Structure 1
Amino acid sequence: MENIKEPHEVSHFATSVNDVELLFNEPKVSGLQLMEKANLKHIECLDLFQLFEGDFKKIATDETVDLSAKGFERFITKDAEYRNYSVNNDPEVTDKRELTSVEILKLAGIDPEEHFLILVNKDGSKVSYGHQPQVKIKIECGGMHFVTERKDCVLDIEHCFSCGVIPVIAFKYIIKINTTPFTVGKPAMTGREILALINETPETYYLRYKHTGGSKIVEADEVVDFTACGIERFSAKAKNCTEGRVNKRDFLLPQEDVSYLEEKGLAYETLLSDGAQWVILRDYPLPAGYSQRHTDVAIRIPQNYPIAPLDMFYMYPNLARTDGQPIGALSPLAIEDKQYQQWSRHRTANNQWVPGEDNLATHIALMNHSLNEEFTKR
């Protein structure tokens, strides 16, 4: 038998959201169904209202309305009155569209004198407001996530590199340029800003930073992120050369030695003298207590280096102690037609040369140790 509908039966229920006509098969629908049917974007940022003649009612997303009831006209949406965010995973809510980092900290019950705010973006990137306490932060709908860190947090990026630790956002950072550490209050700086720390400019100085794969020149306006993994330290070197000296390169050093010398800003030459290979460090700085403030340092490079070890070092002009005390185990040696002073300093059985670990950098470190230890021996 054919099913015939009664004249009063209704097959569809019509309404509208923001003047978008909608049809439903059932009379009772939720606020969420209404907004989804109207293809609204970012529903979490909107409040839904049911309009009556001369009145309105706010409808929650999980609230049910009856489209068959009489007396209402339509639905509209407005920007949500309150916006949600979190601080250290604790939920917070505000009716303001902008807040400073200090306001966000205070609303979360956190002392802005001891802590600073960090915004964690959806892609995982972070923005520090440690040195921008009064900058207005637009509170986006959909939930923003903030974390905090203490203001006494100071990060040494060279230490992070040495330990293999990924740097975090801190209130201050210790960066090293050549051998001098600097404490800065930014998580990122341009090449020009970094060189300004040593009162130099990109027009007269090269800036490099050492990273896991070697070293890289930093351009004037290039931004270096101190929280990026793998940055160790910076080196700055003058672009100009003094007249009358051209650095000789009679043979090539391993790239790790070249990178080390360049990063330290050390002027050097490689030369052949009487069949021997030498690295000459020009105008090398010496610790206090010697008759010279700077000297040329010669280091013999064996033919099968770096498998073969480096041994001893040689000084020109010759050194003496300013206190008149003698220096032991010295002897003369002619290098590049000059009378160098041989320092017979050797590795011990407990500190033998290890190919793959030892290089010019570790030998220079031992030389520096010997120069300083001279004043503790006698």
Structure 2
Amino acid sequence: MPTYTSKDDTCDILVCGLDLALRSVRINDDKPTGMQIAEAAGFAPVPQITVLQWLAHGLEDVRPTETVNIREGVNRFIVAESEGSSRFLIDGVRYDWPASLISISVIRTLAAVSENKGIFLVDPERGEVLLSENDELNLSHRGVENLVTHAPTWKLNVQGVALSVDTPIIKVRKALELAGVSTEQDWHIYLIVEGHDKRELSLDDDIDLTQPGIEKVRLTPKDVDNGESGPSTIRQFCLLPADEAFLDSAYPNWQTVIDNARQWILLPKYKLPAGYTQSLVNLAIEVPPTYPMAQLDMFYLFPAGVLLTGVSIAATEACETIQGYQYQRWSRHRGGRSVWRPGVDNVMTHIALVESALIKEVL
């Protein structure tokens, strides 16, 4: 509400202590000094009184003999006994506070931080630390405390996929969906938090992300054994509908796995052309996060592809560990007329190049 009224130089202003509980007082001067404001707030005229003008963005010290122009609008002043001040920054705005401690709830009011934003202490070692409303910031430490505000987020690692979510409580099902993991798969789901025992979860359980440290969710498939069938097919992330339709038709046992935050298509029992010492191998293709704009490149075999002739195969010396197995990397890249075409090339066209590369070695 407006606090400026002027009738024979009499003005109403708002004053408060360090709790920021504003109250209206009358002062008989439209250009009062800092000491007059302190007296109007009920303080004796002693040097240990600090008067701060509470502006829309920041605080301004008013010395005992300094005058202030009372103007239209809200005129707010913080008055407190103090022998000195401590400084902090919030979103780059400097505040000199007449005490060594200040609560986060007071900072929120002082800096007009909206309720949908969190207040974070910028720590050189820990990064941004979310502060609760009941926390107190100690301003007596060496240096200037730096605060920033923004909508809070919480971190969760799901099978190597780092998530940043805007809620402190998340359902396991939702976390898996955000990480691109199929919730139709039958999983053993474990929550791992540093300093705590591993805990098994169900899809409908909640994960509390406010605990210290980044929570990790780890998955292992449950075996399905009806006396005939083997382990269930692993689908930890989704592909394009056209890719899935192709794989369902050509390689029904295809899998998608996430290993060390990298996405892989696995084709178990992939048939090699005649001329290799093995007839069946596992074929792996890495899927970059920005596929299909980013290309599928190279392919990987386990066990390694070896020619019956004993002749070494060029550009296959490197290995890649996938799910604990050493896959042989075939460095075969597109070029010339076979350059990757987003929206045209896909898993099917890449497997065609894989087949061409494998056949080329035995011709």
Q: TM-score normalised by the shorter chain: which range applies? A: 0.3 to 0.5
Q: TM-score, normalised by structure 1?
A: 0.35
Q: TM-score, normalised by structure 2?
A: 0.37
